[in-house]
Amino acid sequence: MATKKPEKETVVETYLVNRVISLGGIAEKTVNPGVRGYFDRVCVLPGGRVIFVECKRPKGGVLAAHQKLRRDLYLRLGAEAVVIKNCEEVDRLLATVAAAS
Residue 43 CA: distances (Å) to CA of 1, 11, 37, 54, 65 = 37, 17, 17, 11, 23
Q: Tell me whether residue 2 is in a domain.
A: no
Q: Tell me whether residue 1 is in a domain.
A: no
90 has pLDDT over 70: yes
Q: Give dist(CA 96, CA 47) in Å, integer.
A: 11
101 has pLDDT over 60: no
Per-residue confidence (pLDDT) for residue 84, from 0 to 100 = 94
Here the CATH number for the domain that contains residue 48 is: 3.40.1350.10
pLDDT tens per residue, range 3-41: 556 568 889 999 999 999 999 999 999 888 888 878 999
Q: Tell me whether residue 17 is in a domain.
A: yes
Contact 83, 52 (CB under 8 A): no
Contact 85, 15 (CB under 8 A): no
Contact 51, 81 (CB under 8 A): yes
pTM of the model: 0.85
Q: Tell me how many domains the chain contains.
A: 1
Give residue 100's pLDDT band: very low, low, confident or very high (50, 70, 90): low
Q: Tell me whether residue 41 is in a domain.
A: yes
Q: Tell me whether residue 67 is in a domain.
A: yes
The residue range of the domain holding 21 is 9-100
